Every structure is written in C-alpha cells, then in structure tokens.
Structure 1
Amino acid sequence: MGRGGDQRRTHASDVELGSAVSLAQQGDEDAFATAYRLVHPGLLGYLRGLVGDDAEDVASDAWLEIARDLRRFRGDGAGFRGWTATIARHRALDHLRRQKRRPQTSLLELDVLELPARGDTVDSVLESMSTQWALRQIVGLPPDQAEAVLLRVVVGLDGPATARVLGKRAGAVRTAAYRGLKRLAEQLTSGSRAESAAPAASGTLRDET
C-alpha cells in the first residue's frame, strides 16, 4: 500500500514536471525553475554517487547543456527525467575521464533519515528507498548495481528508462537493480537486528556493574 502511494506521488510529480517543461520550452523562466526544482535533487544525488564532491560542478555543466538543448527535447515528465539523467551521466563520465578515474559509488553522500524496522524483502527496500531511508547502504554495492539502484530510486526512473541511460539491455539492468536491492535488504535486516540487540546488551552491562 505504501509502495502504491509512492508510485502515485511520483506520477503526480511527473505530470507537474511535464507541464513545466512544456512551458519552459516556450520561454517561461518560472516554469524552468519548477522543472529544476523537481529534477535537481535526484540528479545531484545520482552525480554524488559518480563523482563525489565534484557533483555540484558537474551538475552545473549538465544544467547548462539541458537549458541550451531544452527546445529539442520531446517527451513527458518521466521522459525529461531520463533525458536529464543521460546528459548528467555523460558530463560525469567526461569529468572522470579528465580526472583519469572511474565512477566511485563509495563517494555517495546522502543522509540517512532513519532505518526501517524490517527490511527483509526487496519490495520493502524499494519502498524505503523511495522515502529516502538508508540510502547510504548503496555505497557498498558493486558499481553496476549501485548505478542501477541510484537511477531507479534516487532519480526515479523506471526500468526501461534506466536501461536507456546506461546504454544496456533492459534485462541486464533489471538484474543489476534486483541484485542490488536484494543485497540492501540483507544489509538492512542485519542493521535492524543489530539496533534492536544494542539496548539489551547495554542493559546487561549495567546490571553487571
């Protein structure tokens, strides 16, 4: 039920985004600001997973290109998210080539707001990620899994759009995302168990003293 609610909110946001993009293409600066507000946080989170502390600079370059080519974009709100993610990824890879290093998801800097009480299924992990729970766990994933999860969860793309951004087959991306979410489910379960065990252990020590 919670997951369905997340999907409805995402859909409503994409409707607003599509309208804003359409107006921005006609020169409406306020509409472009709305599109930026709706897209930038997820785009910046994705870039932090690729280039770490340089994410703000890369995002600026990406938005310059987005603004320059905006009139050439064709599609709806969801399509705009995918289009901007593709541009951001290209700018990130250009940046990394200049720096002569590979994407490093270990540089991800997203706040953990809280851990879910239970995280023993892939669906519960996806729901948690949609509400910004435990995103820091992504740093421990293999790069292909981490990027697939970032695009699905942080940027908000669906499976086919994620595959287009990465230039890979949809099946391969779906598998990478599934494996990443499954690993996160295991990590979150372990973390929840550790959290629940800590007070009991502390109480035992106090009793012994």
Structure 2
Amino acid sequence: MAGNGGRLGPRTDRDTELGAAVARAQDGDEEAFAVVYRLVQPLLLGYVRGLVGDDAEDVTSEAWLEIARDLGRFRGDGPGFRGWAATIARHRALDHLRRQDTRPRARPLDAELLELPGTEDTADRALEALATERALTLIASLPPDQAEAVLLRVVVGLDGVSAARVLGKRAGAVRTAAHRGLKRLARLLS
C-alpha cells in the first residue's frame, strides 16, 4: 500500500517530485501534468473505488477534468495537491452516489489499480499483491467512516489534518477512525 517507505518509495521523495511537477503543469507543461497524473491517479482510483466500486474509473475521470480545469487555482506542495485532488474526487464520488440514491460504503479494491511500475523482484511483488488484495478486502469490511479514514491515510497517504479536510471532519476524529480501523484490521489478521 502507499504508506511511508512502502512500495511507492519514501513519501517525501514522491511529494517533492509531485510538487515540482504540479508547479510546471500550472505553467502549461503537458509532460509535467502527465507526471502529476502518473503519481496521483492510482491513489485516487483506489480511494474512489473504495467509495463507489465499479464506477470508480468514470468518477475519477470526472475528478481529473475538474482538477485540470482548476489547476491554476491550486496553491501548495505535493502533499497539499494529493489532499486537494482527493477532496475533488470525494465530491465527485458523493455526487455519483447521490445520483444513484445510495449511501457511500467501502467496497473491495482492485490491487492492480494501486500498483506503479517498479524494480522489485517478481516473487516479492506477487506476495505483496496477495497481501495487498487481502488488506483491501479487509478494509472494505470496516464501518464506512473507518474504511474511508484508512483509505485516505494509508492508500492516498494523507496526514490526519489533510484527511480531515477531505472528509470535512476534525483531525482528531479522522485519526481516531483510522486508528480504530487499523486496530480492527490487526485483530482480523491475528
């Protein structure tokens, strides 16, 4: 999953790369926007899939249209951009669910949607994929508030304050929900 030091590499390296790419994309650099998309899309798609299930690609595409349209208004760094993009994706997901007249609920996520190309050993990647698939299935079994907090904190890699902004809640409430969710996951795994 996308935590610090995980498969995606140290979060600070990715955040530095993301922040620089966002700045260049705001100046009209199309290749930089492609870098932004490559770094953020798997995270957003995983998060949105946890909210809307099979419609995640459509909803995430709508979010990217809004992100591209409003990119010039964004102010911040790499982690700030991830939070801003997650907020937009969440709003599009909630709009989608309202149109369907259903409540948001966590659903199983596809592990391959969260993978980025890497240099890892194939056997290690296969074992990690199995573990990731199981973890995502377990996350989907959590209460919705805990599942969404865990998705934002672990999959998208947001800190408590940023995840709270996305959810429109207090940071303490999000940290508590994520903590309870992770604790419940630990119990399920043991």
**1:104 is the counterpart of 2:105:** yes
Closer, same or farther in 2 for the Cα pair 1:133/1:31, shift >3 Å? Answer: farther
CA distance in 1 between partners of 2:74 and 2:134 (Å):
33
Tell me which amino acid in the other structure corresponds to 2:169.
Answer: K
Which residues in structure 2 correspond to 1:11-90 (within 5 Å)? Answer: 11-90=12-91
Shift of 1:113: 1.7
Tell me which amino acid in the other structure corresponds to 1:67.
Answer: A
Map Cα deviations across residues 128-164 of structure 1 (whole Å, 9 max, x no partner): x7xx772221011000000000000111101110001
Please give the secondary structure, in 2, of the residue aligned with 1:151. Answer: helix
Please give the secondary structure, in 1, of the residue aligned with 2:130. Answer: coil
Please, what TM-score do these two structures have when normalized by structure 2?
Answer: 0.85
CA distance in 2 between partners of 1:30 and 1:8 (Å):
22
> Is this contact kept in 1: 2:22–2:33, CA < 8 A?
yes
Which residues in structure 2 correspond to 1:158-177 (within 5 Å)? Answer: 158-177=159-178
Shift of 1:110: 2.6
> Is this contact kept in 2: 1:20–1:31, CA < 8 A?
yes
Tell me which amino acid in the other structure corresponds to 1:65.
Answer: E
Map Cα deviations across residues 89-146 of structure 1 (whole Å, 9 max, x no partner): 00001111111001120x222337234xxxxxxxxxxxxx7xx772221011000000
> Is this contact kept in 2: 1:20–1:35, CA < 8 A?
yes
Identity between Structure 1 and Structure 2 (%): 69
CA distance in 2 between partners of 1:99 and 1:12 (Å):
39
Q: Answer 1 or 2: higher relative contact order, Cα 8 Å, separation at least 6.
A: 2
Tell me which amino acid in the other structure corresponds to 1:76.
Answer: D
Aligned CA RMSD, in angstroms, stands at 1.8
Hey, which bits of structure 1, 4+ residues long, moved more than 3 A? 3-8
Closer, same or farther in 2 for the Cα pair 1:10/1:65, shift >3 Å? Answer: same
> Is this contact kept in 2: 1:50–1:108, CA < 8 A?
no
> Is this contact kept in 2: 1:45–1:108, CA < 8 A?
no
Closer, same or farther in 2 for the Cα pair 1:8/1:44, shift >3 Å? Answer: closer
Q: How many pairs were matched up? A: 171
Please, what TM-score do these two structures have when normalized by structure 1?
Answer: 0.78
Q: Which residue of 1 aligns with 2:96?
A: 95
| Structure 1 unpaired stretches of 5+ | 116-128, 190-209
Task: Kindly indicate which of the two structures has a greater share of residues assigned to helix.
Answer: 1
Larger of the two Rg values belongs to structure: 1
> Is this contact kept in 2: 1:20–1:32, CA < 8 A?
yes
CA distance in 1 between partners of 2:4 and 2:51 (Å):
29
Shift of 1:12: 0.3
> Is this contact kept in 2: 1:110–1:136, CA < 8 A?
no
CA distance in 2 between partners of 1:47 and 1:8 (Å):
22
